[in-house]
Amino acid sequence: MNVQFKKGVLDLCVLALTAWEDRYGYELAVTMSSKFEVAVGSVYPLLSRLTQEGYFSTYLKESSEGPPRKYYKLTPKGHTHLMELVREWRTFSVAVDELIKEGVER
Amino acid sequence: MIREQYLGQLWELLSPVPEHLRREWMYDYEEHFRMAAEHGRSEAEAAHELGDPRLIAKELLLNYRVGQAENKSGSITLVSRAVLAAVSLGFFNLVFVLGPYIALLGVLLALWATAVGVGLSSVMAIYEGLYGGGITMLQGAFLAMVLIALGMLIGAGAHWLTRAVAKMTLRYLKFNSRVMRVKKG
């Protein structure tokens, strides 16, 4: 998929992954990287940016093995933003689907 | 060894950022190496999938600069730093973005200089009114007042325009600088 196109959607996806449960960085990075063709190293700056913009808060939590892990938690502001992005995405994808049906699958 | 080198280099590259933020960011990459090891991946593999630390540092620094410029919206200094960070990251072409931006800064500077110049020329008017033969003192004072008012007006315009340029540049920067690196191999 086109990189320019993808980058707008990645915010939405990474926020969506944390909608119901807090996740640690590695988990998010690996999931994002396996679903989309993005470098793992590129996901962490994305997480930092979303944190800086107030959509995520972070905290450390003890894990059974080794040092505590850094978890990303969706803030209320992040939740509002996510809902907005989801709405935008739905409108967009419905429109694209309609055009594909009209243009390609007739 | 690879791990220490990688993290050490990243830490050095992030030196423009306040330490608490730097530590917070570093935690992600330290944890990445730890988790990769837990999943049976070598340090070399972990370093490879993270990518060049210089690229990561630049991405983080750009985010930081843009965030700073946003917090103090309208500051042309902070916006200029963000522009430089973006150009150094290779988001924008040096000639096509930095060139016009610098030209724009030149226009703003000229406008500010005009405002100051016009304001200061009121001193000349007063001097001319007092000692010169051309105009009376009253005329000189009146002229000085008009010049000061005009200078202030141009100054207000320059101020407004500077803020507008700063805000627009930032919006453009935010919109265009969100890239993701594609997975290699």
| Other Cβ atoms closer than 10 A to A4 | 11
Phi, psi of B106 (to 5 degrees): -60, -45
Instruction: Tell me the mean pLDDT per 10 residues along chain B, length 185.
Output: 90 92 92 90 90 88 86 81 80 73 92 93 87 82 92 94 89 72 59
Interchain pair A26, B50: CB under 8 A:
no
User: Which residues in chain A have Cβ-Cβ distances shorter than 8 Å to B31?
Assistant: 24-26, 69-70
Give the residue from B6, B17, B31 with the most A CB atoms within 10 Å of its CB, the best one to mutate: B31
Place of tokens 């600069």: B65
So what's the pLDDT on residue B96? 73
- Chain B touched by A61 (CB under 8 Å): no
What 8-state DSSP symbol labels residue B133? S
So what's the pLDDT on residue B92? 67
Interchain pair A52, B178: CB under 8 A:
no
CA of residue B42 relative to chain centroid, distance? 39
- Chain B touched by A25 (CB under 8 Å): yes
- In this prediction, residue A6 has a pLDDT band, given cuts at 50, 70 and 90, of low
What DSSP string describes B75-98? Answer: -HHHHHHHHHHHHHTTSS-IIIII
Q: Determine the Cα–Cα distance for residues B60 and B65; give it in Å rounded to an integer.
A: 9
Tokens of residue B73, six digits: 């919206």
Give pTM, 2 decimals.
0.76
Place of tokens 């507008």: B164
For residue A22, the distance in angstroms to the closest alpha carbon of chain B comes to: 15
Which residue has better confidence, B136 or A98?
A98
So what's the pLDDT on residue A72? 95
Tell me if residue B18 falls in helix, strand or coil. Answer: coil
Interchain pair A66, B34: CB under 8 A:
yes
Q: Which residue of B has its CA nearest to A58?
A: B24
pLDDT at A26 exceeding the cut of 60: yes
Place of tokens 């707008």: A8
Q: Determine the Cα–Cα distance for residues A88 and A91; give it in Å rounded to an integer.
A: 5
Of B49, B60, B67, the CB nearest to A40: B49
So what's the pLDDT on residue B135? 81
Number of residues in chain A? 106
CATH of the domain at A83: 1.10.10.10
ipTM value greater than 0.85: no
Which candidate, B51, B56, B61, places its Cα nearest to that of B87? B61
Q: For residue A100, give its domain range.
A: 3-105
Give the residue from B55, B58, B62, B180 with the most A CB atoms within 10 Å of its CB, the best one to mutate: B180
- In this prediction, residue A5 has a pLDDT band, given cuts at 50, 70 and 90, of low
Interchain pair A42, B180: CB under 8 A:
yes
Q: What is the mean pLDDT of residues A6-26?
A: 88
Which candidate, B146, B52, B171, B169, places its Cα nearest to that of A41? B52
Q: At what angle do helices B53-71 and B19-38 cross, to 10 degrees?
A: 140
pLDDT at A1 exceeding the cut of 70: no
Q: Determine the Cα–Cα distance for residues B16 and B34; give it in Å rounded to an integer.
A: 26
pLDDT over 90 for what percent of chain A?
55
Question: Mind listing the pLDDT tens digit for each residue in A59-87?
Answer: 988 877 778 899 999 999 999 999 999 99
Please give the angle made by the CA atoms of B150, B166 and B93, to the nearest 5 degrees.
130
Q: What total number of domains does chain A contain?
A: 1
